[in-house]
Amino acid sequence: MKSEEKESTLVIGGRGEFGQFLHLDILPMLGVDNVLTIERETPSDESFAELQRARHVVLATPLAGYAELACELVYRCRDLRGLTTIWLIPSVQAGVWRAVTATLEIVANPFLSAVFVHPMYGPNGFRATEPEARTFQNILTATGEGREHPLVEEVANISEAFRSAFNITTTDAFNPEQHDRITAYSQGLSYCVARLMFEQSEVDTVLRENMPDLYHSFHANHDLILDFLRINAYMPQVIAAFAEARRQTPESTYEDVLRAFAHADKALNRGEDSPIPTKWYEKLRASASVMK
């Protein structure tokens, strides 16, 4: 079978916050001009027409329902005869990886491959110049290759493009399960502070006063944060550690929030730096260390 040549990049979820970020800030800087966008609810006949034109497909929909939609996408691509790479970018990777690789095996399209990667940056703070910006990176956890569609050269080229255009590195040091556990202990721990802020008005007020950039980012990502807390399989341990640390404080001041964060961080990460830090995890850690 001969593969058809395709050039477009299709962003599914293109009108969402991250989809717009890709369309306006990331892809143009990578030299990608021919960008198509559709939404999750786009009729199947219209979406299939766009899939037939796409060389790359980026699934940029919310975390809730992501694995199911990713598997549906693989089925919709089962009859494509051009090389197609699906880029799956959720902040919780393991469940998506298991479901999609199994579906790829069933569909068995030799021209269809998938890349599982977590972009550790977004529109809220992407252009930041503070030290925590060093946490911006791509975490490549796995790939799934069709028989006629190897990915080594393609992934290497795109990784180099991100490094050249944004100084964003790509690491493949973690598999999906490792990624989810490590990010639960860092990103997820910071999200425990976010949930406390969402649930308790007094915490919301003190964080708005003391860490306004974190406050605004957490509120801008409210739904993603709650989905992460619910979907990441390692979060029950993190939530319990933070709750126990919180109970060891008077639970009344901004400093008490930071102390609870610091105690939970020490319990989870054994006092070591996280291998996958995030901007807000680093900011909370720095603020907590000042109190010592």
Domain range list for the chain:
8-173, 177-290
Each residue's pLDDT tens digit, 124-178: 766 656 666 678 999 999 999 999 999 999 999 999 999 999 999 999 999 999 9
Tell me the percentage of the chain whose pLDDT exceeds 70.
95
266: buried, middle or exposed (CB in 10 Å: 19+, 13-18, 0-12)?
A: middle
Each residue's pLDDT tens digit, 73-110: 999 999 999 999 999 999 999 999 999 999 999 999 99
- pLDDT score for 128: 58
265: confidence class by pLDDT, cuts 50, 70, 90: very high
47: confidence class by pLDDT, cuts 50, 70, 90: confident
Mean pLDDT of the region 23-52: 91
Q: How much is the mean pLDDT over the chain?
A: 93
Tell me the percentage of the chain whose pLDDT exceeds 90.
85
- pLDDT score for 46: 84
Mean pLDDT of the region 50-62: 96
Q: Is the pLDDT of residue 119 over 70?
A: yes
| CATH architecture, range 8-173 | 3-Layer(aba) Sandwich (3.40)
Q: Could you report how far apart the first and last alpha carbons of the chain are, in Å?
A: 66
Q: Is the pLDDT of residue 233 over 60?
A: yes
- pLDDT score for 45: 83
- 3-state SS of the chain? CCCECCCEEEEECCCCHHHHHHHHHHCHHHCCCCEEEECCCCCHHHHHHHHHHEEEEEECCCCCCHHHHHHHHHHHCCCCCECEEEEECCCCCHHHHHHHHHHHHHHCCCCEEEEEEEECCCCCCCCCCCHHHHHCEEEEEEEECECCECCHHHHHHHHHHHHHHHCCEEECCCCHHHHHHHHHHHHHHHHHHHHHHHHCHHHHHHHHHHCHHHHHHHHHCHHHHHHHHHHCCCHHHHHHHHHHHHHCCCCCCHHHHHHHHHHHHHHHHCCCCCCCCCHHHHHHHHHHHHCC
Q: What is the rounded CA–CA span in Å between residue 247 and residue 14? A: 42
Q: Which residue has the higher pLDDT, 69 or 292?
A: 69
- pLDDT score for 131: 62
Q: Is the pLDDT of residue 291 over 80?
A: no
Q: Which residue has the higher pLDDT, 33 or 2?
A: 33
Q: Is the pLDDT of residue 267 over 70?
A: yes
- pLDDT score for 3: 58
Q: What b-and-e string marks burial along 37-72, b requiring 16 or more CB atoms within 10 Å of the CB?
A: bbeeeeeeeebeebbbebbbbbbbbbbbebbebbbe
